[in-house]
């Protein structure tokens, strides 16, 4: 007896995508997030690096500070400054014979300090072009900064003709400071060719006064001090 086996039935047909459309690949699960995170990290690092290569306008045009001490001239680029002397006084004026006190100042000849006057005598020389705007501050060394007085006509930064290039000018800036605030004073000055501090030069000069020496100078403050007008020097 001969037995004949029937062939197995063919597999059912698989569904085909519509004409003109390719079959969508299966998503690679778990592979996309690491790539996204890595890209974001690289982008953040690139932006951080670019911030160093291309500083903002404020950083490019702000004053460039030159620092030194009173033993030598400090070169701020657009000017040099040499501190000649520092004097302390209880009261200051523009001069006994011809006072130039501002109309807003007290009527008395001398202005008494609520603390002590620190008067910094210096020589300033513009190096390249005419400079007209002088601003100064005194860092007292106790984390406080004091602006120079505007009560006197004779001090730098009040009424003057500025600083012509190449000609040294001697003058002074005066600061009213609480006696106990003085620790290790540094005079700071910015001199520019117009209003504002865009591309201005700035110098910080350490006065070299601290401890017992500073206390002795304060205790020996003059009763009155006449601040002379700025004066051009011969070259």
Q: What whole-number percentage of the chain has pLDDT above 90?
A: 54
Task: Give the other-Cβ count within 10 Å of 235's Cβ.
Answer: 7
Fold of 73-232: Immunoglobulin-like (2.60.40)
Q: Answer whether 152's CB lies under 8 Å from 158's CB.
A: yes
Q: What are phi and psi of 34, to 5 degrees?
A: -60, -40
Is the predicted pLDDT of residue 112 greater than 90, yes or no? yes
Q: Mean pLDDT highest for which of 18-32, 169-183, 193-207?
A: 169-183
pLDDT of 38 > 90? The answer is: no
- Asked which of 20-24, 71-75, 77-81 is least confident by mean pLDDT, the reply is 20-24
Across the chain, mean pLDDT equals 81
Report, as an integer, the average pLDDT of 6-23: 58
Beta-carbon-side half-sphere exposure of residue 197 (alpha carbons within 13 Å): 16
* Domain regions of the chain by residue span: 73-232
């Amino acid at each position: 007896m001969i037995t004949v086996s029937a062939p197995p039935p063919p597999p059912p047909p698989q569904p085909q995508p519509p004409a003109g459309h390719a079959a969508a690949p299966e998503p690679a699960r778990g592979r996309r997030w690491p790539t996204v995170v890595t890209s974001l990290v690289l982008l953040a690092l690139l932006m951080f690096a670019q911030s160093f290569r291309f500083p903002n306008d404020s950083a490019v045009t702000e004053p460039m500070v030159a620092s030194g001490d009173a033993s030598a001239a400090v070169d701020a680029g657009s000017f040099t400054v040499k501190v000649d002397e520092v004097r302390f006084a209880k009261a200051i004026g523009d001069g006994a014979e011809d006072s130039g006190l501002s109309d807003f100042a007290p009527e008395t000849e001398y202005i008494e300090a609520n603390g002590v006057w620190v008067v910094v005598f210096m020589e300033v020389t513009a190096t390249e072009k005419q400079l007209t705007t002088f601003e100064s501050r005194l860092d007292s060394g106790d984390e406080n900064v004091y602006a120079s007085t505007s009560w006197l006509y004779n001090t730098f930064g009040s009424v003057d003709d500025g600083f012509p290039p190449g000609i040294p000018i001697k003058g002074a800036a005066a600061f009213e400071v609480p006696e106990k605030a003085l620790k290790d004073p540094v005079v700071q000055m910015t001199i520019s060719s117009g209003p504002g501090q865009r591309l201005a030069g700035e110098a910080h000069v350490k006065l070299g006064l601290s401890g017992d020496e500073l206390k002795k100078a304060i205790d020996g403050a003059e009763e009155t001090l006449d601040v002379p007008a700025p004066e051009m020097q011969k070259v």
